[in-house]
């Protein structure tokens, strides 16, 4: 594992970016830190979507796991008194993995628009259930107490900010190692030609099932982080189809060129949404749509493709490869 860490340029740069963010977080106002936290949480869910995206699959209903993770944290807090951030994430990931594993048996059979719309249907079923359940706050939702970290309470949010950055960094590293594994390399192979993959002796459905569960786990963790940092859960902001649309928006805007791209896209989207709502409250959707159109027309590979174009390296040695 140490050798892989030393050889991976991506991991080194993501680690450097995490350190820079931790330093910046101590210097900026609280509202900036909050926006970065929310953006990183959304980026973690988009990282899961990226795993599917590279396989040629897109989910229009990943708010299902985003919401499951958020409500799992809220219920663990409300029913069991769990306050530790990392224990809450175990509940969020566990619940999402169980649901993702079960639904994976259905979704792994479908492709293209059928996969996308079926995932959307499942998420809207959960939305309908949560919106009607008075015991869970119905459409108003309910609050979540501030998290502790390793049993310690903190007055400000900087400790939570650092914990979220570390969680996102570890998640990005794990996904990077997965993508560089034998199963990870099947990602683009399945997208290009499933029949050839089957002839090589691999089960395409099983591979997609594993990727779907990984994607669900990341989205669940993202929902758990957002619930803990925001202090509130409700169906409209956690499970509704608009949340799934935002995740797809960030996926397109960020690009799938690196495990760092989803987090960059998540933070950029969060600030775009914040400033649009502040300065153009009646037209914020117009500016978000305009941004997406500009990305599609001029940067079809996403923001990350622009970074790659601005920073091209000639060194193609094994040490410089990702």
Q: What is the pLDDT of residue 152?
A: 80
- Each residue's pLDDT tens digit, 268-313: 999 988 888 888 888 778 888 888 888 888 888 888 888 777 765 5
Number of domains in the chain: 1
Q: Is residue 81 part of a domain?
A: yes
pLDDT mean over 212-227: 94
The CATH code of the domain that includes 17 is: 1.10.3470
pLDDT value of residue 311: 66
Whether 81 has a pLDDT exceeding 80, the answer reads yes
Q: Which domain, by its residues, includes 194?
A: 2-247
256 Cβ contact list (under 8 Å, min separation 6): 50, 53, 54, 302, 304
Q: Is position 131 within any domain?
A: yes
Q: Is 288 part of a structural domain of the chain? A: no
Chain centroid, CA 265 distance in Å: 10
Whole-structure pTM value: 0.88
Per the domain annotation, does 259 fall within a domain?
A: no
Q: Answer whether residue 318 is part of any domain.
A: no
Is residue 67 very low, low, confident or very high in pLDDT (cuts 50, 70, 90)?
A: very high
Helix axes 30-53, 9-25, angle to 10 degrees: 160
The confidence band for 105, taking pLDDT boundaries of 50, 70 and 90, is very high
Interior/surface letters 198-222, b for 16+ CB within 10 angstroms, e for the rest: eeeebebbebbbbbbbbbbbbbbbb
Task: Work out the angle at residue 226's Cα, subtended by the Cα atoms of residues 256 and 230, and round it to the nearest 5 degrees.
Answer: 140
Confidence class for position 321, pLDDT limits 50, 70, 90: very low
- Asked if residue 207 is part of any domain, the answer here is yes
Instruction: Tell me how far apart the alpha carbons of residues 40 and 25 are, in angstroms, rounded to a whole number.
Output: 13
Tell me the range of 8-12, 26-30, 90-94, 148-152 where mean pLDDT is highest.
90-94
For a pLDDT cut of 70, what percent of the chain falls above it? Answer: 94
For residue 224, being part of any structural domain is answered with yes
- 300 located within any domain: no
Tokens of 225: 């982080």
């Amino acid at each position: 594992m140490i050798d892989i860490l030393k050889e991976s340029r991506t991991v080194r740069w993501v680690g450097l970016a995490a350190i820079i963010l931790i330093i910046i977080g101590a210097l900026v106002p609280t509202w900036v830190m909050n926006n970065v936290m929310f953006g990183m949480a959304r980026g973690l869910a988009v990282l899961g979507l990226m795993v599917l995206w590279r396989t040629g699959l897109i989910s229009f209903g990943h708010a299902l796991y985003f919401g499951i993770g958020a409500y799992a944290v809220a219920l663990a807090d409300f029913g069991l008194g769990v306050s530790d951030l990392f224990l809450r994430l175990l509940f969020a990931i566990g619940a999402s993995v169980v649901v993702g594993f079960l639904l994976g048996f259905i979704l792994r059979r479908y492709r293209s628009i059928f996969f996308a719309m079926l995932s959307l249907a499942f998420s809207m079923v959960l939305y309908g259930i949560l919106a009607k359940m008075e015991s869970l706050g119905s459409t108003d939702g309910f609050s979540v107490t501030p998290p502790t970290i390793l049993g310690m309470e903190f007055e400000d949010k900087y400790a939570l900010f650092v914990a979220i950055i570390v969680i996102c960094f570890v998640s990005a590293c794990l996904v990077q190692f997965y993508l560089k594994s034998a199963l990870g390399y099947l990602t683009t192979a399945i997208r290009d030609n499933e029949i050839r993959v089957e002839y090589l002796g691999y089960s395409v459905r099983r591979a997609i099932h594993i990727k779907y569960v990984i994607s669900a786990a990341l989205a669940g963790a993202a929902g758990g982080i957002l619930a803990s940092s925001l202090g509130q859960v409700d169906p409209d902001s956690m499970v509704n189809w608009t949340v799934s649309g935002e995740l797809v928006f960030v996926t397109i805007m960020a690009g799938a060129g690196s495990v760092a791209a989803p987090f960059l896209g998540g933070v950029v989207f969060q600030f775009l949404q914040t400033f649009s709502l502040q300065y153009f409250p009646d037209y914020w959707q117009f500016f978000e749509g305009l941004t997406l159109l500009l990305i599609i027309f001029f940067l079809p590979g996403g923001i990350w493709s622009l970074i790659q174009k601005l920073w091209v390296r000639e060194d193609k040695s094994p040490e410089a490869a990702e």
